Amino acid sequence: QVQLVESGGGLVQAGGSLRLSCAASGRTSSAYAMAWYRQPPGKEREFVAAIKWSGGRTFYADSVKGRFTISRDNAENTAFLQMNSLKPEDTAVYYCAADFGSDSEGWRPTYFGMDYWGKGTLVTVSS
């Protein structure tokens, strides 16, 4: 089993920045991709960003490209999401996820491909 714990959420004004962290613990000895998803109020969960184990391959939703940056520290089993130029529409609960089947070159992040999920952290962007 793997446990994921998000932190860093909060209230920020539009145009501001936040940095989310996701700490993984448990059976983390294998390579795994990490991803961020979010669920805005009243809407379905959506993909935000993902990063493979090596850190060299990243994926972003079009809505956050150029504003958000995903990174990871494998030694600390932690992933980060740096969010800049935040907009009110970024308001959501942000979830961290891990995929232990991400070794292939053609791997892409998918919702149902994630093996573990955190409980989420709330980000509120005021206008």
Tens place of pLDDT per residue across the chain (127 aa): 899 999 999 999 999 999 999 999 998 878 899 999 999 999 999 999 999 988 779 999 999 999 999 999 999 999 999 999 999 999 999 999 999 987 788 899 999 999 999 999 999 999 9
Whether the Cβ atoms of residue 72 and residue 79 lie closer than 8 Å to each other: yes
The type of residue at 50 is A
Cα 27 to chain centroid, rounded: 19
- Alpha-carbon distance of 90 to 59, in angstroms, equals 17
- Alpha-carbon distance of 99 to 10, in angstroms, equals 26
